[in-house]
């Protein structure tokens, strides 16, 4: 876990795995306790929600491919009072990408469709849907859904690639923040509900430009599910975030929300080792850029290498390769950097692999 562990982390309370009992009551306030499996499903009375799966495959000891699949749901305020089943009460966006590490090429695709908010199959006009009682979201022929055996399955048929992979849980669900309420700004009113599933084992196939790659031993994934009524607090233009599957089985999350000058408006994260979870308080996650890359397409400059200070250790975060910018102007409207990275501890030993996300560099983030 690194030599710089603080007494505060060592004294953190033991995490108890959440009891997974059904409940159909919507979470409305920060003080509410999340209930599972209901809160694995969609929360359609919140403005914004996303399910975010990332992972990697290995060839020997080296990273071969990275993959990312994200579904976004956004309420359409103007149609909420409509009684017509044709009303688009929600827009669903999806982004998918495969990072070819050996050739240093990112392949990406995107989708957008409307959803009435009704269950799957009840509205013939729907091209997207989401479950309310468990993990399940789809947009046309892209989907992320829990199977009968408990695994999560992701299926994507894109222009240059295809995904058909399943994820199996190896650890308890990780509640970010205080019981799944993650503070996202100086005011207590700025929060999201947020949980993660790290250290997911991966099976299945990735097809890339006519070639097939199997996700074999050592392939790992990470799932985030987050929902809120506000994307960013006042003054913030974007964020920097890492979700890392550590080689020793621990899980590292760290983020900062930035203003236009690059200063942190807010920061946070967590570190879990075994059954011990420590959630960072304000100021305990600090991001210092050490190397930049400029996109030839958007001209945005991204820090593709960081020194990230946390209560667990000082980590060097390095992009697997620089050109992992996604242009989603045909769906969410944003240009952002989303890519596979490697993490090194304060002894400069490889400590983990995961994903780095950076938004608000091309322009202030808006959906």
Domains of the chain and any CATH numbers:
7-358 (2.40.370.10)
Please give the angle made by the CA atoms of 202, 208 and 211, to the nearest 5 degrees: 95
222 forms beta bridges with 54
Integer CA distances (angstroms), 10 to 13, 166, 250, 260, 302, in order: 9, 34, 14, 36, 34
Q: What is the pLDDT of residue 354?
A: 98
Which residues are CB-contacts of 139 (< 8 A; sequence separation ≥ 6)? Answer: 71, 92, 93, 94, 111, 112, 113, 127, 128
Alpha carbon distance 115, 10 (integer Å):
46
pTM: 0.89
Count the Cβ atoms, other than its own, within 10 Å of residue 147.
11
Q: What is the pLDDT of residue 332?
A: 64
Q: Which alpha helices (H) appear in 299-354, and where do they start and end?
A: none
> Given pLDDT bands bounded at 50, 70 and 90, which one contains residue 84?
low
Q: What is the pLDDT of residue 78?
A: 59
Which residues are CB-contacts of 359 (< 8 A; sequence separation ≥ 6)? Answer: 238, 239, 334, 336, 337, 365
Q: What is the pLDDT of residue 33?
A: 81
Q: What is the pLDDT of residue 18?
A: 34
Q: What is the mean pLDDT of residues 214-230?
A: 93
269, pLDDT greater than 70: yes
């Amino acid at each position: 876990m690194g030599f710089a562990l603080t007494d505060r982390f060592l004294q953190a309370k033991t995490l108890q795995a959440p009891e997974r009992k059904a409940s159909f009551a919507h979470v409305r306030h920060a003080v509410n306790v999340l209930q599972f499996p209901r809160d694995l499903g969609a929360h359609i009375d919140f403005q914004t929600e996303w399910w975010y799966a990332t992972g990697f495959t290995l060839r020997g000891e080296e990273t071969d491919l990275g993959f990312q699949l994200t579904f976004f749901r956004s309420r359409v305020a103007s149609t909420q009072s409509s009684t017509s089943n044709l009303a688009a009460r929600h827009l669903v966006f999806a982004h998918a990408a495969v990072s070819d590490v050996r050739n240093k090429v990112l392949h990406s695709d995107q989708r957008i469709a409307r959803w009435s908010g009704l269950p799957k199959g009840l509205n013939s006009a729907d091209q997207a849907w989401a479950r309310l009682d468990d993990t399940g979201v789809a947009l046309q022929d892209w989907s992320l859904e829990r199977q009968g055996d408990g695994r999560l399955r992701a299926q994507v048929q894109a222009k240059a690639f295809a995904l058909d992979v399943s994820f199996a849980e190896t650890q308890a669900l990780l509640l970010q923040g205080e019981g799944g309420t993650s503070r996202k700004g100086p005011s207590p009113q700025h929060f999201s509900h947020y949980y993660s599933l790290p250290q997911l084992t991966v099976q299945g196939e990735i097809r890339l430009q006519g070639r097939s790659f199997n996700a074999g031993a050592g392939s790992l994934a990470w799932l985030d599910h987050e929902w809120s009524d506000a994307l960013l607090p006042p003054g913030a233009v974007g964020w920097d975030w890492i979700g890392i599957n550590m080689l020793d089985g621990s899980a590292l999350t760290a983020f900062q929300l930035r203003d236009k000058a690059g200063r942190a408006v807010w920061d946070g994260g967590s570190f879990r080792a075994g059954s011990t979870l420590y959630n960072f308080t304000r100021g305990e996650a600090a991001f210092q850029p050490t190397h930049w890359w400029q996109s030839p397409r958007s001209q945005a400059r991204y820090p593709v290498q960081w020194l990230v200070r946390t209560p667990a250790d000082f980590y060097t975060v390095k992009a697997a390769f620089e050109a992992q910018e996604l242009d989603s102007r045909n769906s969410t409207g944003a240009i952002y950097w989303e890519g596979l990275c490697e993490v090194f501890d304060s002894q400069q030993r490889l400590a983990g692999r995961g994903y780095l996300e950076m938004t608000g560099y091309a322009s202030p983030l808006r959906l």
